[in-house]
Structure 1
């Protein structure tokens, strides 16, 4: 590293000559980035990506972004040279995107609001200087001694819980089962069994769905809870003592509810739920809905503010490493892994953390409730089962677990016997594989349903949206107070003057109609903030159940979604209002006929009518409609004649924002169109009416004393 006296000061990066005078495009930053991106790619392919590899990936992404901006702004560069440099940068970006699809945790590092660690800052400086680029002194970062695993934290409330119960009773029944195994004849002890077990699911399926024998749920008693039969069967199995499940129902069949109620039926608290970030808020919502008597807490960041005494703890994969220490020692009696195919790569950090936690829980409690939820148990090949089976305790790294080995011994067969494979497959299924498709339980579920998926808006954009909403609410309250103070009629209204509230909301709507401060503009910003999360969920659905229709109102939201699908290697067709009829029809046919086109990205306005997209049965509504009729029109592109499966529309809702209120207002108007069509004199609400109602709801909520409901 050159002495400080030899470096230029200033706020911009400037190129300098290297020792041998080679040009920047030959030995500059781009070759450095290309080599670093390949190193990360190779590490992911080998399955040994370290924490330093995560740092290198983020630094390359940052520098690619910076270099692209610099190249575009360089007026001294010829167009040919600029095009060449941008093409080289695009190549590196493609490598990063492909790498992230193999290790999805890396996507978290690509966001504009991703935290840049001191290690990343130091590596950035090193790469720039290695490329012969002088770094301003104020940008320099002190290098860290060595890259280490992500720092571990222990929230204060967790310490309080540990101090309150320092002694956790050890369960020794596992040792008793081990002794029972040793006491039996062990014909299979010398056989390699993991390979034959996996092969049994390829050779011995015979077209049969993998479903364990489930009990009749008619005797199950859950006061105040209404379950569909297929859901109740799993809960009844947990109540009867079954303790491990690979719940592989298709999306839309209520796996989250089944897991939460299974924990309740088994009295398996505290419960740890490890989930993708995109469904973290939904898990808290579902826990409050299905098990309201059990406290739930969600772990964000370092865990500040969590309830360490909660019965249910929800944490996302991406921060699991930070909390793995105390999570393994808290004494969980159950653990659920949602979207369990996320752990298929056993060498990935997320998989190692999940397997370590499972092993600690099983070491402390012999028969904990362990549930792996996934609509996609197999992504590439049969080997994807390994990590899930190991999480459930069905296998060890190189041999069957105790229960599976006992079941295999009882068959009296070895892999040399033809009958071994169907018997082995059934032995694994009996441990707890449950797979139901929508079409299998069509009688249980409505032909068309809307499922709300709450998401949290993190980062600077989410904070700015919440700040803007608070400012809007303050402005409304100030208008209301001023109007009350200026009233000369002498009329006094007890409590909230709802007539005045509506007038104030009307004034606000009129005054801000042509500005960026109205509810329409705020909803657009919310849509932009939700776009990546909505696309991420649509990508998960596409991998789980096939074709998905993705609806958005604004072009920029569609752009973000399409970029996300491209990064994940998911084929999509775009259906927009600015397309020629020929292009539009070509894209529609691609979605309908090409098996590699998994998602149709549609404009709510341009594609909400006149399309038949019934090859899909799942719809993602990334942005809310302003009327129930518009929402229904979009869903009916899939729910129409020719559809032979129940249709689920996943409505992405930004929690703790006005998005939730808009959704409630849309639902409250849902019956209005039907009444109008049946001859009512009521007028169907317009989008402007809904904007007024949203402002009324905001102001009413602000004026309502805490603990009271608004009129």
Structure 2
């Protein structure tokens, strides 16, 4: 940044004595220059809105007048008469500035001491000071400050996962960018305008149609999805935009439209590896699964805790917001070429540490990627939570704006529109300009033809708290218990003649019989209940995100304590709920159902899987969260069909919360295999025949096989 410091007192270079400023005469010195300039600005305002050049001049006059007034009041060597005369002349300039601002109210903000100073303002100010005979030092270009990506308060918390240095040493250089640098449009018309507030206002006013940029047609055939998978047309159109060179997006599709898959493949299309993905903890495992599913040729690693077990040579690094602060140091040096922020509304508070961490890393990635064009994706079905200002942090992350003004690309585009915020046409044009930078918003109803009428989507979650550790310990104890049964049977007379598989079946059957007879103690039923309790908070968190994004949500749980925890979590987030349980009268239950379907303030229906599974119509929602697993596919289907009913106009998505790396994941798989019975018996479909045992029995056999090393 250029700095200029005028000499306010001391010897003049030309005369050897006196002050650096020449004595004011009728036609020389600073004040006569200000008087002539302010008359020119006044005349311009009388003819209409001030031109950009006169706006700059107005601001410079205000700055110089303020500085001169402060100097005159404090400078020694001036007589009282000289001081009074000079202040009187400055008051005259101030009076004309005030009248001019009253005529053209857009100039009022420039009278504020904190009004932003542009490069054009600095240049004109220097020129006018030289014309007034003020000796100025030559311009000194100050070095840019060294960017700090780790705040001092977080320095001691930084960790260095093993393998990071090896990865950095293996790829020490980034490829050179040989593309031609884009020359920005000169900014003249908007040079002195404060633009962030008008840009936000352009969205607040509404109108102008869907906030979705024009996207290319979907390529035919789709060559982006791996074998066995197929992209939906709306997903392929987004990826075609990435293929065409677009690199920053606010992807605001409603939940259920495959934002994760689009982002994963976008990184492949843009070759944006290594890729950093910052997500809420509840979806961290799902992101890893989606990377493996949609880009099986790429390696993904999930960062837990201090990152002791990460794969430093992976292509995709998934980290949750809560632990990002301790990984800032190595991430900022790693050379990421792309960054995805999932549930980006979580960074809306630009003053929060979470938001500062994300924005600092995005700046660092822009600085390091050749050409300054990394792949940056902000994903959220809810870009606005409280008010229009929630856009600010997301736009900064994408590089569209900085803290105070639009970025170069956006500013050039606004200048090319030909309007200023004083023109009513500025607002719809500005809104479309921001949308064209990369806002993509599709609703379920917009792409209903692309979606199945009903689908179940598993959302694996990691239970890494005390409850999660307790569940894994309980599963180990259950495995030991089954192993003891297996050993006793095997050692008996009957067991000697049986195969291992037959003994596994016998031991599991005995355990299931004992578990059914006892309501407490360690068994498969109490373990599943414990898993449901551990998942309750994560499931409620995800349901709350859905409610903010798409509207009404139906939340199903099996146990009352899980329902209670969920209702408390929704209340803490300011979401109004109704409850459907088994101990309610028919009249009260119907009142709850009616409230959910007709009251726009009711966001979530918290329902018992058994009590609300039949005879209930909740079609005001199209999203269902299954916080706990049922033991049968039929019970799960009945719950989903409370929403998927005649009169439902949108595709229905059921989000099944599954505890990864626990028996919960196996139970989900077994429930799906049991669905084959209905498909074969009632729908005439060909389906793989499943075993006749119950899900509980098969789950126990799975645990025992694992303990025997037979999986």
| TM-score bracket relative to the smaller structure | 0.7 to 0.9
- Whether 2:521 is the aligned partner of 1:516: answer yes
How far, CA to CA, are the matches of 1:259 and 1:584 in structure 2?
42
Contact kept? 2:495, 2:503, Cα under 8 Å: no
**Residues 476-498 of structure 1 deviation map (CA, whole Å, 9 limit, x = unaligned):** 234334433434686475xxx32
**Residues 548-581 of structure 1 deviation map (CA, whole Å, 9 limit, x = unaligned):** 0000000000011011111111111111111233
- Whether 2:447 is the aligned partner of 1:441: answer yes
Distance change in 2, residues 1:395/1:608 (3 Å) = same
* Residue in structure 2 matched with residue 385 of structure 1 by the alignment: 391
- SS of the residue 2:157 aligns to: coil
Residue among 594, 600, 609 paired with 2:605:
600
* Residue in structure 2 matched with residue 256 of structure 1 by the alignment: 260
- Whether 2:282 is the aligned partner of 1:307: answer no
Contact kept? 1:574, 1:600, Cα under 8 Å: yes
- SS of the residue 1:512 aligns to: helix
How far, CA to CA, are the matches of 1:299 and 1:504 in structure 2?
39
Using the TM superposition, give the Cα deviation of residue 160 of structure 1 relative to its aligned residue in structure 2, in angstroms. Answer: 2.5
- Whether 2:702 is the aligned partner of 1:700: answer no
- SS of the residue 1:465 aligns to: helix
| Length, aligned pairs only | 552
* Residue in structure 2 matched with residue 344 of structure 1 by the alignment: 348
Q: Provide the aligned C-alpha RMSD in A.
A: 2.5
Contact kept? 1:212, 1:432, Cα under 8 Å: no
Contact kept? 1:280, 1:316, Cα under 8 Å: yes
How far, CA to CA, are the matches of 2:452 and 2:211 in structure 1?
23
Using the TM superposition, give the Cα deviation of residue 686 of structure 1 relative to its aligned residue in structure 2, in angstroms. Answer: 12
How far, CA to CA, are the matches of 1:262 and 1:665 in structure 2?
33
Larger mean Cα displacement after TM superposition, 480-489 or 386-395: 480-489
Residue among 651, 656, 659 paired with 2:664:
659
Contact kept? 2:593, 2:617, Cα under 8 Å: no
TM-score by length of 2: 0.74
Using the TM superposition, give the Cα deviation of residue 307 of structure 1 relative to its aligned residue in structure 2, in angstroms. Answer: 1.2
How far, CA to CA, are the matches of 2:498 and 2:572 in structure 1?
61
* Residue in structure 1 matched with residue 213 of structure 2 by the alignment: 211
* Residue in structure 1 matched with residue 582 of structure 2 by the alignment: 577
How far, CA to CA, are the matches of 1:165 and 1:208 in structure 2?
43
Larger mean Cα displacement after TM superposition, 620-629 or 378-387: 378-387
Distance change in 2, residues 1:489/1:557 (3 Å) = closer
Using the TM superposition, give the Cα deviation of residue 157 of structure 1 relative to its aligned residue in structure 2, in angstroms. Answer: 2.0
Residue among 199, 212, 237 paired with 1:197:
199
- SS of the residue 1:669 aligns to: helix
- Whether 2:637 is the aligned partner of 1:632: answer yes
Using the TM superposition, give the Cα deviation of residue 518 of structure 1 relative to its aligned residue in structure 2, in angstroms. Answer: 1.6
* Residue in structure 1 matched with residue 550 of structure 2 by the alignment: 545
Distance change in 2, residues 1:509/1:264 (3 Å) = same
Contact kept? 1:296, 1:312, Cα under 8 Å: yes
Contact kept? 1:212, 1:433, Cα under 8 Å: no
Contact kept? 1:220, 1:236, Cα under 8 Å: no
* Residue in structure 1 matched with residue 145 of structure 2 by the alignment: none
Distance change in 2, residues 1:608/1:685 (3 Å) = farther
How far, CA to CA, are the matches of 2:342 and 2:706 in structure 1?
35
**Residues 443-462 of structure 1 deviation map (CA, whole Å, 9 limit, x = unaligned):** 11101010000001122211
How far, CA to CA, are the matches of 1:256 and 1:340 in structure 2?
13
Unaligned runs of 5+ in 2: 1-151
**Residues 13-42 of structure 1 deviation map (CA, whole Å, 9 limit, x = unaligned):** xxxxxxxxxxxxxxxxxxxxxxxxxxxxxx
TM-score by length of 1: 0.74
Using the TM superposition, give the Cα deviation of residue 301 of structure 1 relative to its aligned residue in structure 2, in angstroms. Answer: 1.2
Residue among 293, 298, 303 paired with 2:302:
298
- Whether 2:361 is the aligned partner of 1:354: answer no
**Residues 76-131 of structure 1 deviation map (CA, whole Å, 9 limit, x = unaligned):** xxxxxxxxxxxxxxxxxxxxxxxxxxxxxxxxxxxxxxxxxxxxxxxxxxxxxxxx
* Residue in structure 1 matched with residue 677 of structure 2 by the alignment: 672
How far, CA to CA, are the matches of 2:237 and 2:311 in structure 1?
32
Distance change in 2, residues 1:413/1:289 (3 Å) = same
Higher Rg of the two aligned structures: 2
Contact kept? 1:550, 1:602, Cα under 8 Å: yes
Contact kept? 1:204, 1:425, Cα under 8 Å: no
Unaligned runs of 5+ in 1: 1-145
Contact kept? 2:187, 2:411, Cα under 8 Å: no
Larger mean Cα displacement after TM superposition, 553-562 or 402-411: 402-411
